[in-house]
Amino acid sequence: MSVRCGQALNAALHEIFERDERVYLLGEDLLDPYGGAFKISQGLSTRWPDRVLTTPVSEASIFGVTAGLALRGYRPILEIMFGDFVTLGLDQVVNGIAKFRAMFDDRVTVPLVVRTPMGGRRGYGPTHSQSLEKLLVGVPGITVVAPSECHDLGALLSDAVADDEPVFFIENKLMYGRPNRRPENGRVDELSCAETGGRYPALTFSGNGFGRAEATLVTYGGMLPAALDAATRLILEHEVFTEVVALGRLLPLDLEPVLDSLGRTGSLVTVEEGTLTGGVGAEIAARVQAEAWGDLSAPVTRVAARDGIVPSARNLEDDALPGVEDVVAAVTQLERVGG
Amino acid sequence: MMSGQEQTAPVRADEDARRLYAGMTLIRRFEETLLELFAAGKLHGTTHTCIGQEADAIGVISCLEPERDVVVSNHRCHGHYLAFTDDVDGLLREVMGRVGGVCGGKGGSQHLFRGNFYSNGVLGSTVPVAAGMALAEREKGTGAVATVFVGDGTLGQGVVYESLNIASLWELPLLVVVEHNGYAQSTPSRLQLAGDVEARAAAFGVASSRHDTTDVLEVRHAAREAVDHVRSTGRPYFLVLDTYRFSPHSKGDDFRDPDEIAERRQRDPLEVGAGLVSDAERKEIAAAVEQRLADAVEHALAAPVAAAEPVRAGAGQGRA
């Protein structure tokens, strides 16, 4: 019985706190028994009451306070209750946290981690359901990590805290309650799974042992289950094999696993939960066509949320957000050049 | 752990007075030199000079210990930087984009870092960062005070109040110095600042005082009380210093009534503080400052321009 993703993150936080007394946690509603709105910080304030600082509802300020701690030798973690609220701290991110190291001539580091959940499908409505990581991917100087439920969540979070760069650690609300499905013997369920090395690895899934396939689906975070379900359905219902790449890190972007997969598939579909325009998929598509034009047999296709709000009502929300059907359709409708 | 009230080593009164006056003179002439270099087309970018406000920088920072205390400044940071570091060459070269600039030419006029000194250019953003630094120093038990300089214009930023709330709630050793020069860039206080300035601190239970003076000794006396308060109680303090900027906000952008500026020049901190030194000492200080600045300019102009460095792996390279 594998642990749930939320439990894995909570256990990792306990280990990180045990290991390094420079680690502090700041955020709203962190204290036990509440333990944070999604309970990921549960138990920490009981064990380390002096290192868990529950804050006023002041995102603009607590981003800055966290930066000040990091600049002066600590390794603080900031929990932002909903990813949507990152906007309140963006000045600190864009004009401070992301810039201090470079503009102070590489003589300071800002080793902080911002943990925050993104994503919809819980009916929280337009201001509590967004996937805003694309805003962060446009900010040079930070690292954006967005693990999926098949990543080693504890290792990634530990690496983020050990990282000298400021790291945004994008979690997903639905992921918290789902099992942390780690590959066993190179497999996750019926699919082969290969993991790149180093920090924030990417995972590549194949339904035919990394033989030739028809498309690569590149995704991250909370969209991995939809991409994997789509891959399975494509095999069962359309006899189409695909590979799925789940990126661990969105910024800086490491395209190698995508290019590697493209060498076996020849076409690319990007899959993300955020809105389409200016999204992560757009950046991947632009870079892939520049680096692997010769490998592409079809235009890159993007699957994303419709540009607009994430409505609250279940049917409206489902309609706005991309799902398994959208991914399947994107693959079956790829327009092969000369095909 | 708080280390209690600690004083810097006592200095003889005449030597002390001489230092204060010389410090103000250096800042004044440094800023005037920058404006001259701009006028001569030798500077790129922008600058915000603090001509007229020198008593604040010198009076406050003479109460701090650069080896352990932290200063966070703003866009108008040259005076604070020079008072804290005495690094004329590093600052001049930074503003001029030359090798040897304290931040390699990357920060420029308003983004400085050296030792325990930091500045940043977005108003108000510095206050929570300074609060976080105060928290760090408290947790380390260094007994340091984190001082953040803001202006009256910055009192329009909400993050200042979020941070005052936190500083009070968490008992952070944070000194907020408001240099109230009556203008937010071009906008006079009457058009941008409602209510009572000190009451803003009182609302959060933060001790405060306000001083309408350009006398460096009076500023220092007020700052000494403020710093001692922070160091001995571990709690924040809000020090409001009424002052005036003789120079434009930036370079040529001044639309204020010349009569108003002339009236305020009657309270020029260098005139008010003239009695700190004898006529002979004043001349000696002036000559030494001129020589130092002339050398700094000469060396800066002779230094190579800052060289570009590669961006890091995986980052966009500007073309793809």
- Measured CA distances, B66 to B56, B117, B195, B275 (Å): 16, 8, 35, 27
Domain extent for A28: 5-176
**A–B: how many Cβ contacts below 8 A?**
125
How do the pLDDT tens digits run along chain B, 320 residues long?
344 444 555 667 789 999 999 999 999 999 999 999 999 998 888 889 999 999 999 999 999 999 999 999 999 999 999 999 999 999 999 999 999 999 999 999 999 999 999 999 999 999 999 999 999 999 999 999 999 999 999 999 999 999 999 999 999 999 999 999 999 898 999 999 999 999 999 999 999 999 999 999 999 999 999 999 999 999 999 999 999 999 888 877 788 899 999 999 999 999 999 999 999 999 999 999 999 999 999 999 999 998 877 666 666 766 65
Q: What is the CATH number of the domain that holds A221?
A: 3.40.50.920
**Is A337 inside any structural domain?**
no
Supply the pLDDT for residue A91: 98
Does A143 lie in the same domain as A233? no
- The Cα–Cα gap between A104 and A101 comes to 5
- The Cα–Cα gap between B290 and B66 comes to 25
- Which of these, A133, A298, A25, A71, lies nearest to B130 by C-alpha position? A71
CB contact under 8 A, B132 and A60: no
- The Cα–Cα gap between A83 and B95 comes to 38
Does A264 lie in the same domain as A241? yes
Nearest CB to A61: which of B122, B140, B163? B163
Supply the pLDDT for residue B255: 87
Does A143 lie in the same domain as A42? yes
Number of domains in chain B: 1
CB contact under 8 A, A66 and B104: no
- The Cα–Cα gap between B310 and B53 comes to 40
**Is A307 inside any structural domain?**
yes
Secondary structure (3-state) at A139: coil
**Is A181 inside any structural domain?**
no
**Is A18 inside any structural domain?**
yes
Phi, psi of A270 (to 5 degrees): -95, 140
Q: Is the ipTM of this complex over 0.85?
A: yes
**Is B309 inside any structural domain?**
no
Tokens matching residue A258: 């995508």
Nearest CB to A61: which of B113, B128, B137? B128
Does A164 lie in the same domain as A85? yes
Interface residues of chain A, partner chain B, Cβ below 8 Å: 24, 53, 55-56, 58, 60-74, 91-92, 95-96, 99-100, 102-105, 107-108, 140, 251-254, 286-287, 290-291
Number of domains in chain A: 2
Q: Judge whether A204 and A257 are in contact, CB under 8 Å.
A: yes
Does A251 lie in the same domain as A160? no
**Is B311 inside any structural domain?**
no
**Is A60 inside any structural domain?**
yes
Interface residues of chain B, partner chain A, Cβ below 8 Å: 70, 102-104, 106-107, 111, 113, 118, 120-122, 125-137, 139-140, 146, 158-159, 162-163, 165-166, 169-170, 311-316, 320
Which of A145, A176, A207 terminates a domain? The answer is: A176
Interface residue of B166, B170, B172, B319 to substitute, partner A, most A CBs within 10 Å: B166
**Is A339 inside any structural domain?**
no
Q: Which helix (H) or strand (E) holds B60?
A: helix B54-61
Does A259 lie in the same domain as A170? no
Residue keyed to tokens 């993104």:
A118
Does A170 lie in the same domain as A211? no
Give the CA dihedral A98, A102, A104, A107, nearest 10 degrees: 110
Does A207 lie in the same domain as A135? no
**Is B111 inside any structural domain?**
yes
- Measured CA distances, B18 to A143, B11, B214, B269 (Å): 50, 11, 17, 14
- The pLDDT tens digits of the residues spanning B4-21 come to 444 555 667 789 999 999
- Which of these, A43, A112, A48, lies nearest to A77 by C-alpha position? A112
Does A110 lie in the same domain as A239? no
Measure in Å the smallest separation between the Cα of A318 and chain B Cα atoms.
34
- Enumerate the residues of chain A whose CB falls inside 8 A of the CB of residue B139: 24, 74
**Is A338 inside any structural domain?**
no
Does A233 lie in the same domain as A290? yes
Does A120 lie in the same domain as A195? no
**Is A182 inside any structural domain?**
no
Does A320 lie in the same domain as A198? yes
Q: What is the CATH number of the domain that holds B50?
A: 3.40.50.970
**Is B3 inside any structural domain?**
no
Nearest CB to B107: which of A60, A71, A104? A104
Q: What is the CATH number of the domain that holds A107?
A: 3.40.50.970
- Which of these, A64, A75, A58, A53, lies nearest to B127 by C-alpha position? A64
**Is B138 inside any structural domain?**
yes
Ranges of chain A with pLDDT below 50: 339
Cβ within 8 Å of residue A54, ≥6 positions away:
A27, A28, A29, A30, A31, A45
Domain extent for B86: 13-302
